[in-house]
Structure formats: structure tokens, C-alpha cells
Structure 1
Amino acid sequence: MAKIDGHIDSAEMEHIISIGERKGMRAQDVRALLANCGSVKLTMPNNDIDRFDQIYDLVEMMLADGIVDDSEMEFCIDIATKMGFRKAVVGVLVKKITTGVKDGLTREEIKNEAIHFLELQ
């Protein structure tokens, strides 16, 4: 995601490292992973909570540099669709996360609203 707009700025790198650290990785391991990301095979999460968390992390990454590039938004929507979210709700889900992050809501508040939204669809 960070490379989709052609560069990784310092805010994006810090955010990537913080996500890695939350997942139990060291900063140097995250940097090494980024350097070799073309050879990494992605595994998709198998439940809605894990799918939401990964989409949330992608959206946070998209917002990290303060510029929302159309290709970044399309990438988030494409990944959410590939993860198994219904195409009819993916755009709304990504926008709900984006708006929630910009409005300063916590991850849990956004997750609860998103799960409620997804259950109604």
C-alpha cells in the first residue's frame, strides 16, 4: 500500500513499523520485509474481524501521509473485495473507516459501527 503512490515517506514508514510491532515484529524485520515485499506471499484472513483489522491498517496507511491518492483508495477497495467483503459494501466500508479515522474515533468504535453496518447488509 505504501509503495502504490511511488514512495514511502517517513510518516508511512513509522506507521508500517508500528503495525509490525503490534504484530510482534521488530523494526528491522519490518524494514527487511519492505525491501523484499515482491517475494512475500500474502495470506488472507479467514474471519470478518481479522479482515476488518487488515483493511483498517491499510486505510490508516493510506491516510498516514495526509494525501489520499485515488490509486491508494482503489487498492484498499480491491484488497477488501479480495478478502471476501461483498463488492456492494466495500466502498462504503473503506469510506466509513476513513471518515472515522479522520474524525478521531478509536479503532473499536469504528469496528463496532462497521460490524453493525455489515450485519445489516
Structure 2
Amino acid sequence: MKMDLRNIFGLFQHGNVSAKSHIKNLIEVASADGEFNEQEFYLLKEIARRNNISDKQLEEIRCHPEAIVFICPTDDREKFYQLYDLVHMMTVDDFIHPEEILLCSVFATRFGYPNALVNEIITTIQLNIENGSGYDEAMKRVYFIMGR
């Protein structure tokens, strides 16, 4: 199937919107404990760059989060990557606030992860991050928990 320029542009726009939603979600987690520190900001900038979000766009999202609507990723891999990033943001400053855990749980549920397994999934991702495992290794462990 051949894709015309409008379809390609539409995919790019959706990806950018989804990426902005992800950045907004990360900012929410980083701010949940009432403090947005240097480690969290550095990780946010790294994830923004990986998602083709410019510094200017990042600043716009930080200043006007209400302008960004929540977009749930549709691809299972993208859902996992976003949840991994959210958990990473929660743990990057070595202090986990209960509100950060709650937000990660809410996002996991919104992404379609089973309620009964959300805490175990988040803990598994957290332990993988602490052990230096990347996305793929953590994903294998989470999928094992989910029976996939």
C-alpha cells in the first residue's frame, strides 16, 4: 500500500501530539512531590530529545500543560516505553513520593495494564531501572508477569 504525503504528515502530527502528551505526563510525575529538581529536568530533556521535542516546545509544555490533551498510546511497545519513562522519572531523584506512585499507577491503568498487576509491574520496572536494565529487558519481565 502506497502512502501519500497527507497520510505521512498525519502520522507525524499524531506522533508529535502523542510525544507532547508523554512529556506532559512526565512533568506531572516529576512535579507530584512538589519539587522539580535538576535530575528530573535532565531526564525530561533527554526523553524530550528522544521524542523530537525541541527545548522551545518543552518550555511551552511546562508553561501551558493545560494546552496538551492526554493521548493514550495505541501500540503495546509504546505504552510500555512511556510507562518505563514515567517510572524512571519517579525514581530518578532517589526519593519516591506516594503521589508519584499513584500517578504512575493511574497512567498504567489508563494504558490498559491490568489493575491487579499494576503495582507489581511498576515495582518490576523500578527494580530493572535500579539494576541498569534497559527497556527491552524490563519489558520481557513485565510481559512474563502478565503471562505473555
Of 102, 114, 118, 1:90 maps to 118
**What does the per-residue CA deviation read over 1:3-25, in whole Å, with 9 as the maximum and x for residues that have no partner?**
11112111101111111100011
The CA distance in 2 between the partners of 1:31 and 1:18, in whole Å, is 14
Matched, 1:72 2:110: no
Residue of structure 1 equivalent to 2:83? 55
Q: CA deviation at 1:102?
A: 0.7
Residue of structure 2 equivalent to 1:16? 44
Letter in 1 for 2:93: D
Residue of structure 2 equivalent to 1:32? 60
Q: Secondary structure at the match of 1:5?
A: coil
Q: CA deviation at 1:117?
A: 2.2
Letter in 2 for 1:8: F
**What does the per-residue CA deviation read over 1:89-116, in whole Å, with 9 as the maximum and x for residues that have no partner?**
1111101000110111122111122123
TM-score normalised by structure 2 residue count: 0.76
Larger Rg: 2
Q: What is the aligned-residue RMSD (CA, Å)? A: 1.3
**What does the per-residue CA deviation read over 1:10-56, in whole Å, with 9 as the maximum and x for residues that have no partner?**
11011111111000112232122111112210100113211111110
Residue of structure 2 equivalent to 1:106? 134
**Paired residue total:** 120
User: Identity over aligned residues, as a percent?
Assistant: 22
The CA distance in 2 between the partners of 1:19 and 1:67, in whole Å, is 20
Matched, 1:115 2:115: no
TM-score normalised by structure 1 residue count: 0.92
Q: Secondary structure at the match of 1:57?
A: helix
Of 28, 52, 69, 1:41 maps to 69
Unaligned runs of 5+ in 2: 1-28
